[in-house]
C-alpha cells in the first residue's frame, strides 16, 4: 500500500525544468540558467527519494526530499517565477507538509501568466491528492465585510475568496461585524471533506443611533502593574542578605584579630582572657550574620520563582472588546463581544 501511494505521487510529477522553460523570459539569462540547473538536480533527488520510499527506507527518502526542496527554493531565489512553486509544493507534499504544499500549488495557479493547460491539469491533480490530507472549509456569511477568524487568526473579510484549507480536527471560529451579534463555534473537520457552513449574523438595534466605545485593551507587563507581583519583597530580601553578609565579613575579621591576640604568648594573662572572651562574641555575631544572610537570600529566591515570575507568566492579554446597545420589543440592553 505504501509503495502504491508513493508511485501515485510520482505520477503526479512533471519535469521541473519544463516548468521553468515555459515561464516568462524576462529574467537575466544567467540567473535562469542557474535555476534550470538547480531544478534538474532537485528532480533527480526527488526521484531518488521516491525509490527509497518504494524500498521501504523512509529515512533516506525524506532526506532526499529535504535536499530537493532546498534546491527548488534556491532556484526560486535565482529566478522568481511563480511556476517554480509547483516543484516546491511537490517536495513539501512528499515531506508531509500538506498545508505548505497546498499554499504553493494555489500560489502557482494565481501567479502564473497564461500557464499551459497540461501544467494546470497537473496542478489540479496534485491539489486533489493533497486535499485527501486536509479539509476544505466553504464558509459563507450573508453579510459582506465581516471579519472571519479561525483559531484566533483572521483569515479575511467576507465574502471569502474560495475554499479555505485547514488541517483535520477541531478548530474554533468567530465571525464579527459592527452592529451585529458575533457568531462563534467549533468545527470538527474530517480529512478529505469539504465542510460547508452558512452564517447569518443578527443585526442589533442601536439606541439613539449612537454606538458605545469599541475598546481595545492590552495588558501592560511591568513592575507594579495590576496582576503582577511587586518587586519590593525581592529588594528587601536580597538587600538584607547583602547587608548581613557584609556584617559577617567585618565581625569575622574582628574575631580573627582577637584570636591572634589570644595566641600571642607575649601578652599578659588578663589581655589574653579578654581577647578570648571578645573573640567568642564576635564569632557568635558572625554566625548570626551568616545565617541571617542565607535565610534572606533563600526568601528572595523563593519569592522570585514562586510569586513574581509566575505572576508575570500568567498575565493575560485581551485583544478586543466590543459593546453595542440594542433595543427590541421585549426589552433593551447591551451586547458584549470579545476576542482573546
Domain of 194: which CATH number? Answer: 2.60.40.1120
Q: Are residues 16 and 126 in the same domain?
A: yes
How far apart are the C-alpha atoms of 231 and 211, rounded to whole Å? 41
Q: Are residues 141 and 120 in the same domain?
A: no
282 lies in some domain: yes
Do the strands 169-176 and 183-189 form a parallel or antiparallel pair, or are they unpaired? antiparallel
**Phi, psi of 322, rounded to the nearest 5 degrees:** -120, 130
Is residue 122 located within the same domain as residue 143? no
Peptide bond into 269 cis (omega under 30): no
Q: Does residue 103 lie in a domain region?
A: yes
Q: Does residue 328 lie within any of the structural domains?
A: no
Q: Give yes or no: residues 184 and 262 share one domain.
A: no
In terms of residue numbers, what domain contains 256? 232-313
Same domain, 274 and 246: yes
46 in any annotated domain:
yes
d(CA 159, CA 143): 8
Local structure of residue 266 (DSSP, 8 states): T
C-alpha cell at 338: 470579545
Q: Are residues 17 and 97 in the same domain?
A: yes
Confirm whether 340 is domain-assigned. Answer: no
Stretch (H or E) spanning 169: strand 169-176
CA-to-CA distance for 273 and 323, rounded, in angstroms? Answer: 83
Residues 13 and 49: their CA atoms lie apart, in Å, by 13
CB of 14 closer than 8 Å to CB of 105: no
Q: Clarify whether residues 33 and 86 are in a common domain.
A: yes
What does DSSP assign to residue 119?
Answer: H
| 19 and 126 part of one domain | yes
- Residue ending a domain, among 99, 131, 163, is 131
Tally Cβ neighbours within 10 Å of residue 108: 25
Task: Kindly report the CATH number assigned to the domain that includes residue 6.
Answer: 1.25.40.10
Q: Which contacts qualify for 300-304: CB closer than 8 Å, 24 or more apart?
A: 300/233, 300/234, 300/236, 300/237, 300/238, 300/241, 301/237, 303/229, 303/233, 303/234, 303/237, 304/234
Q: 331-339 and 164-166 as β-strands: parallel, antiparallel, unpaired?
A: unpaired
Helix extents (H) in 13-136? 16-21, 29-54, 58-78, 85-94, 98-111, 117-131
Q: Per the domain annotation, does 337 fall within a domain?
A: no
Does a structural domain hold residue 182? yes
Rounded Cα–Cα distance for residues 141 and 146 (Å): 8
| 130: number of Cβ within 10 Å | 22
Q: Which helix (H) or strand (E) holds 1?
A: none
* Order of strands, sheet of 135-141, starting from the edge strand that comes earlier in the sequence: 164-166, 135-141, 194-199
- pLDDT per residue as tens, the chain (340 positions): 444 444 444 444 444 544 554 444 444 688 888 888 999 999 999 999 999 999 999 999 999 999 999 999 998 998 888 888 989 999 999 999 988 988 898 888 888 777 788 888 888 888 888 888 888 888 888 889 989 888 888 888 888 877 888 788 888 889 999 888 898 888 887 787 887 888 888 887 655 444 444 433 333 333 334 445 677 776 786 777 778 778 778 877 877 787 777 777 777 777 777 878 877 887 888 788 778 778 877 777 877 777 666 665 544 444 444 544 544 444 545 454 554 4
Residue 41 lies in a domain: yes
Same domain? For 125 and 187 the reply is no
* Total tally of structural domains belonging to the chain: 3
The three grid cell numbers given for residue 287, joined into one nine-digit string: 554566625
How far apart, in whole angstroms, are the C-alpha atoms of residue 67 and residue 65?
Answer: 5
Q: What pTM value is reported for the model?
A: 0.48
Amino acid at each position: 500500500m505504501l509503495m502504491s501511494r508513493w508511485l501515485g505521487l510520482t505520477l503526479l510529477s512533471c519535469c521541473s525544468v519544463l516548468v521553468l522553460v515555459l515561464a516568462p523570459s524576462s529574467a537575466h539569462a544567467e540567473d535562469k540558467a542557474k535555476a534550470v540547473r538547480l531544478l534538474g538536480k532537485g528532480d533527480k533527488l526527488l526521484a531518488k527519494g521516491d525509490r527509497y520510499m518504494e524500498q521501504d527506507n523512509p529515512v533516506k527518502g525524506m532526506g532526499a526530499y529535504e535536499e530537493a526542496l532546498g534546491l527548488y527554493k534556491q532556484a526560486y531565489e535565482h529566478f522568481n517565477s511563480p511556476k517554480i512553486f509547483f516543484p516546491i509544493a511537490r517536495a513539501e507534499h512528499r515531506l508531509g507538509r500538506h498545508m505548505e504544499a497546498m499554499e504553493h500549488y494555489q500560489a502557482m495557479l494565481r501567479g502564473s501568466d497564461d500557464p499551459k493547460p497540461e501544467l494546470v491539469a497537473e496542478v489540479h491533480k496534485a491539489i486533489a491528492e493533497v486535499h485527501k490530507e486536509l479539509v476544505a472549509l466553504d464558509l459563507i456569511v450573508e453579510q459582506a465585510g465581516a471579519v472571519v477568524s479561525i483559531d484566533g487568526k483572521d483569515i479575511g473579510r467576507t465574502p471569502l475568496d474560495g475554499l479555505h484549507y485547514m488541517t483535520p480536527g477541531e478548530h474554533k471560529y468567530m465571525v464579527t461585524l459592527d452592529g451585529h451579534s458575533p457568531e462563534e463555534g467549533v468545527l470538527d473537520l474530517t480529512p478529505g471533506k469539504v465542510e460547508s457552513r452558512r452564517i447569518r449574523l443578527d443585526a442589533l438595534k442601536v439606541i439613539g443611533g449612537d454606538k458605545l466605545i469599541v475598546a481595545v485593551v492590552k495588558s501592560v507587563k511591568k513592575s507594579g502593574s495590576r496582576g503582577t507581583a511587586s518587586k519590593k519583597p525581592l529588594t528587601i530580601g536580597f538587600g538584607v542578605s547583602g547587608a548581613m553578609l557584609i556584617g559577617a565579613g567585618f565581625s569575622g575579621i574582628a574575631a580573627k584579630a582577637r584570636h591572634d591576640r589570644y595566641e600571642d604568648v607575649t601578652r599578659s594573662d588578663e589581655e589574653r582572657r579578654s581577647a578570648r572572651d571578645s573573640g567568642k562574641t564576635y564569632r557568635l555575631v558572625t554566625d548570626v550574620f551568616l545565617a541571617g544572610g542565607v535565610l534572606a537570600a533563600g526568601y528572595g529566591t523563593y519569592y522570585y520563582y514562586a510569586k513574581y515570575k509566575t505572576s508575570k507568566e500568567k498575565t493575560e492579554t485581551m485583544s478586543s472588546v466590543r459593546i453595542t446597545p440594542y433595543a427590541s420589543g421585549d426589552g433593551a440592553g447591551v451586547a458584549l463581544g470579545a476576542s482573546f
